[in-house]
Structure 1
Amino acid sequence: MIALLGFALMFTFILLIVTKRLSALLGLILVPIIFAIIGGFGLELGPMILDGLVGVAPTGIMLLFAVMYFGIMIDAGLFDPLINKILSIVKGDPLKVVIGTAVLATMVALDGDGTTTYIITVSAMLPLYKKLKMNPLVLTCTAMMAFGVMNIVPWGGPTARAITSLNLDPTEVFPPLIPVMLAGLCWVFLTAFILGKKERKRLGIISLEPGFMDDTRMEEAATLEAGSTTKRPKLIWFNFALTVLLIVGLVTSVFPLPVLFVIAFGIALYVNYPNLEEQKKRMESHAPNVLIVVSLIFASGVFTGILSGTSMVDEMAGALVSVIPEQFGSWFAIITAVTSMPLTYFMANDPYYFGVLPIIAETAAAYGVDPVHIARASVLGQPLHAMSPLIASTYLLVGMAGVEFGDHQKFILKWAVGTSVVMILVAIIFGIII
């Protein structure tokens, strides 16, 4: 019954936000509360929700200061050379813009962090999309698909969790997955080509002058008061070095991520805008984006807190695993790859890889399936996991791009499923999971 309640909750939530009956913010709060009450957990809601809020607090803090930090870098002009370089290459061609988005997102996603990938990609590319009047859903779709594939790198999270939970050697698990990732990236770039062709057909190729700045948001952000600008060209190398150090810190985990962004933000704001009035105006200019993103993060804490506290997540996973017939035992790795799509969409990585995956691996071992194959198969659903309503960076992406969460879900779904299907097929053909 708890499993059915969980599936009904997820279906209702997705239906309401896709049909725009509720905003993502209200859906994350109200839908799980109502279903928890229906399930008889009304009196336990307080501790569940508090646990969920505490769990997402570090992420909320990180995103708050991350959005502010990269907002300061945009104001100071750090990304202007990159934007102008991309512009000189794409020359107002929507097809080249989308391909450029895929290239940039893939490169940035090498650090394995969705937050960094989305902030840098959207910051650099959104002005181009606005100037050319391109559909921002193409931007969010392309960036998320690239990250969904690149997140399989060992330092990205899911692969490391799979290796740890099954006590495996990283050299056994990851290297064979490289051809699979390359196939996934080929699909990402094919998707970018298809979407770019559609945008080119719709808009045509527009002639733009190098060095343009977005006529709306970026010009507004560039003015503190008459005769004053936010640009800091003399500090561009300082800002570049600070950003590189920040990214290195993120990859090496020298400090917790929230701490890194808090420190970097403090330094960036003081060095670029030492005047108190300027600091106030810079923070006010980015407050709307920050409020949208952070409120969604804490609302997702309510959602995950109730799902975990009621054991809906565990029961849903157990229900899906239990329906696999015994005669399909030798196909357990393939089944794991396929079921990883819905399972990692419905739950965060930690409960899946540390809770569900060991059960799957133990069951598969009874049929003679190597746990290494199970580990590899388990990460092939990451393109679907990247778009999960339980992932904080998803809300950051749609918030920065200014698109509706439900619209983004509808737009990306078939392309994301396609990515996983391509990777699963390549893994089967090359004997990587069988």
Structure 2
Amino acid sequence: MPLQLDGTGLGIIGYLVIALILVLIIGKITYVVPTLIIVPVLGAFVAGFGPSELGEFAASGLGGIVEITAMFAFAVWYFAIMRDRGLFDPLVRRVIHVVLDRPALLTFGTVVLAVASHLDGAGATTFLITIPALLPIYVALDVDTKILAALAALSAGTMNLVPWGGVTVRAIGSVDGATVGTVYNPLIPAQIAGFATILLIAYYFSRRIDTDLDLSDSERKRLVTEALAGDETDLRTDGGTELETGVNRRWYFNVLVTVAIIALLMLDITSPAIVFMTGLVIALVVNVPDYEEQRNILEEYSSDVMTYVGILLAAGVLLGVLNETGMITEMANILISIVPDWMGSYMAALVGLIAMPASLVFSPDAYYFGVLPVLAETAQAYGIPEVAVVRASLIGQMTVGFPISPLTGATYLLIGLADVDLGEHIKFTFLWAWVVSLVMLTVAIFTGAVPLF
């Protein structure tokens, strides 16, 4: 067997592996799944490790990522069923109903609707619900639709911190020892601060709209009513007679189950995977009792499930190779020798500071599976817990930043629905997103979720 490298040589190979992964993913040369598998495998062979050792490395990496992968898969199925069974419909009607009567609350309604519809952690769902519902009102009042896109982006980005969100799943899966309890729970105060900041931004936009339009309340209401004339009957239907129907009782039951699931995740008293597995069983039995329909629904959303499952499992191979070969340790040693001591001591806070702008450069997969493990390992050498760097990254990188990044598909869906140019969207939203990110970082530092040094 070839002589195995160690020390600096192993670290250099590790950096070459990461660099090649970044080039292939950011350049869209190969898809993320094969990239995360073949590149570390080649790196291990170059470093002198054999096939039997490689199998052990991969098994170790996969073992550490199975639970978070299972949680994500069953969460996607669960929220797909809830969405199809109208979990968000009453809120959509209520928000439009309120805005119809009081157009001055348009920006606040945008935030509320975007936050609530992002409960499933999918940006596409949020934008498909929020933008088409509110765009006619923005157009009727001649309000800049960049405001709609910005508020939807900020709201979805902050809500994207939920444990089953795509970026949070990536972040937890990329660092050994990171769990929902250790990563998400300490960030809850920061997330609440983020929501409060977005409401203040919405208030600012509301005041700006008032100044720009200079219309009376009655005139605004008339314009909005005319814009929604085709849907006004449906929006104003009280639905009181439906309160006694089985469908309505089922909706309340679905809400209770969803609240219970979120509570169990936050309390961290059992495995997140088991929580969503059980939730899915309940959702299917109550909402889809027919055998064939159950199978059809699971098959319908299996493509969404398997896409991310494949990415996470491939990431398990990458992380297994980096950790078990010692590459990640040697990469951190190289970085430690370069970074000044004073900067290393502030690494978690610095990561949080630059995380949001970094979302314009790195795709989620490139950052969380390429950059974050090295930063986390390096921070540990300075006495900073790895999970602290994970939290700092989540505050900006692909949470607040994901809906403005040109490297995420949801951004293009957002600007397409709102009919906003990508450059204008980034220019208009960037500073607001960074403000939200910095407020969240400040609160995270204050609460100890992200240590200052």
- What TM-score comes out, normalization by structure 1 length? 0.61
The residue type equivalent to 1:35 in the other structure is G
Moved more, 339-348 or 23-32: 339-348
The answer as to whether partners of 1:60 and 1:297 remain within 8 angstroms in 2 is yes
* Distance in 2 separating the partners of 1:188 and 1:42: 56
Distance in 2, matches of 1:249 and 1:179, equals 20
Q: In the TM superposition, what is the alpha-carbon distance from 1:295 to its structure 2 partner? A: 1.7
Deviations 1:200-243 (A, max 9, x none): xxxxx994536989xxxxxxxxxxxxxxxxx9434111111111
Question: Structure 2 residue aligned with 1:252, among 267, 291, 296?
Answer: 267
Whether contact under 8 Å (1:84, 1:211) holds in the other structure is no
> Residue 121 of structure 2: which of 118, 139, 154 is its match?
118
Distance 1:62 1:278 in 2: 23
Once the 2 structures are TM-superposed, how far is the Cα of residue 51 of structure 1 from its aligned partner?
Answer: 1.4
Q: 1:354 to 1:128 in 2, by over 3 A?
A: closer
Residue number in structure 1 paired with 2:129: 127
Match of 1:318 in 2: 333
Match of 2:68 in 1: 59
Q: CA 1:142 to 1:187, structure 2 compared with 1: closer, same or farther past 3 Å?
A: closer
Q: How far did residue 297 of structure 1 move?
A: 1.8
CA distance in 2, matches of 1:268, 1:180: 28
When residues 338 and 192 of structure 1 are mapped into structure 2, their CA distance, relative to the original with a 3 A threshold, is: farther
The aligned amino acid for 1:383 is I
Code of the aligned partner of 1:18: I
The CA deviation string for residues 337-396 of structure 1, in whole angstroms up to 9 with x for no partner, is 22566899566999789854453139xxxxxxxx9xx99899544435557xxxxxxxxx
**CA deviation after TM superposition for structure 1 residue 284, in Å:** 2.2
Deviations, residues 131-171 of structure 1 (Å, cap 9, x unaligned): 769999979964674258899xxxx999xxxxx99xxxxxx
Aligned length: 355
Shift of the alpha carbon at 1:96? 6.9
| 2:158 corresponds to 1:146 | yes
Question: What is the letter of the counterpart of residue 27 of structure 1?
Answer: T
Question: What is the rounded CA distance, in whole Å, between the counterparts of 2:22 and 2:432 in structure 1?
Answer: 18
1:337 is matched with 349
Find 1:37's aligned residue among 45, 48, 72. Answer: 45
Measured after TM superposition, the shift of residue 117 of structure 1 is: 6.2
Residue 77 of structure 2 aligns to which amino acid in structure 1? Answer: M
Whether the 8 Å CA contact 2:115–2:159 is kept in 1: the answer is no
Indicate conservation of the 8 Å contact 2:395/2:441, yes or no. no
CA–CA distance in structure 2, aligned partners of residues 137 and 48 of structure 1: 44
Q: Tell me the CA shift for residue 428 of structure 1.
A: 10
- In the TM superposition, residue 266 of structure 1 has moved relative to its aligned partner by 0.6
8 Å Cα contact 2:107-2:202 kept in structure 1: no
- Contact map agreement 1:149 1:382 (CA 8 A) in 2: yes
Q: Percent identity of the aligned residues? A: 24
Indicate if the aligned counterparts of 1:140 and 1:398 stay in contact, CA closer than 8 A.
no
Retained in 2: the 8 A contact 1:101–1:142?
no
For 2:11 and 2:346, the matched residues in 1 are separated by 23
Q: Distance in 1 between matches of 2:204 and 2:24?
A: 31
Q: Which amino acid aligns with 2:130?
A: L
Give the one of 377, 387, 395 matched to 1:383.
Answer: 395
Is 1:305 equivalent to 2:323 in the alignment? no
CA distance in 2, matches of 1:8, 1:265: 42
Q: Deviations over 1:171-201 (max 9, x none)?
A: xxx89x979984897489869999xx9xxxx
Kindly indicate whether the alpha-carbon contact (under 8 Å) linking 1:59 and 1:258 is maintained by their aligned counterparts in 2. Answer: yes
Deviation at 1:418, TM superposition (A): 7.4
Give 1:433 deviation, angstroms.
3.9
Task: Find 1:48's aligned residue among 41, 47, 57.
Answer: 57
Whole-Å separation in 1 of the counterparts to 2:152 and 2:23:
20
Q: Are the equivalent residues in 2 in contact too, given 1:118–1:143 (CA < 8 A)?
A: no
- Report the AA paired with residue 252 of structure 2: W
1:15 CA displacement? 2.1
Q: Does 1:359 align with 2:368?
A: no
Deviation at 1:285, TM superposition (A): 2.0
Q: Which runs of 5+ in 1 are unaligned?
A: 109-115, 159-163, 166-173, 198-204, 214-230, 363-370, 388-396
What is the letter of the counterpart of residue 12 of structure 2?
A: L
Distance 1:308 1:71, change over 3 A: same
What is the DSSP-based 3-state SS (H/G/I as helix, E as strand, rest coil) of the residue aligned with 1:361?
coil
SS of equivalent to 2:382 = helix
RMSD of aligned C-alpha atoms?
A: 5.5
Q: Taking structure 2 as the reference length, what is the TM-score of the superposition?
A: 0.58
Listed as ranges, the matches of 1:30-429 within 5 Å are: 30-43=38-51, 44-88=53-97, 99-100=111-112, 103-104=115-116, 118-119=121-122, 123-129=125-131, 142=154, 145-146=157-158, 182=193, 186=197, 207-208=227-228, 209=231, 232-325=247-340, 329=342, 333-338=345-350, 345=367, 356-361=378-383, 380-383=392-395
Distance across 2 between alignment mates of 1:281 and 1:144: 29
What secondary structure sits across from 2:30 in the alignment? Answer: coil
Tell which deviates more after alignment, 292-301 or 348-357.
348-357
